[in-house]
Amino acid sequence: SQELEQSPQSLIVQEGKNLTINCTSSKTLYGLYWYKQKYGEGLIFLMMLQKGGEEKSHEKITAKLDEKKQQSSLHITASQPSHAGIYLCGADINTNAGKSTFGDGTTLTVKP
């Protein structure tokens, strides 16, 4: 989606390394959602961020939403092969109701 830009497009890291995925918009994000997808499967909801400056963590994954609510980052600490997959950010742009817009995804490969 051009309204929601995700970077990098793909990422290959060595097991144990940290990594960051970014999701950026030129518009205000009323809700920001991170999902993980394994190829050929559905999406698994990871986290939701709504407030500027908000940060949430689940196990080794931390997501942040900046104060301006236009950028979010997903950080994985000490990556493991189980973290491999496609990470997508989704957001409610310009409104807090209705359909979400999705980024193009980041394919993460973790080498053992």
CB nearer to other proteins: give 5 or 66.
5
Q: Residue 46 has which token pair?
A: 């990871």
Least distance to other proteins, CB of residue 18, Å: 25
CB nearer to other proteins: give 80 or 96.
96
CB nearer to other proteins: give 18 or 94.
94
CB nearer to other proteins: give 79 or 90.
90
Least distance to other proteins, CB of residue 58, Å: 14
From the centroid of its chain, how far is CA 58? 13
Question: What is the CB neighbour count within 10 angstroms for residue 4?
Answer: 23
Per CB under 8 A, residues contacting other proteins are 1, 31, 33, 35, 40-45, 48, 50, 88, 90, 92, 96-100, 102-105, 107
CA distance 13 to 19: 8
Least distance to other proteins, CB of residue 90, Å: 7
CA distance 8 to 48: 20
CA distance 76 to 60: 6
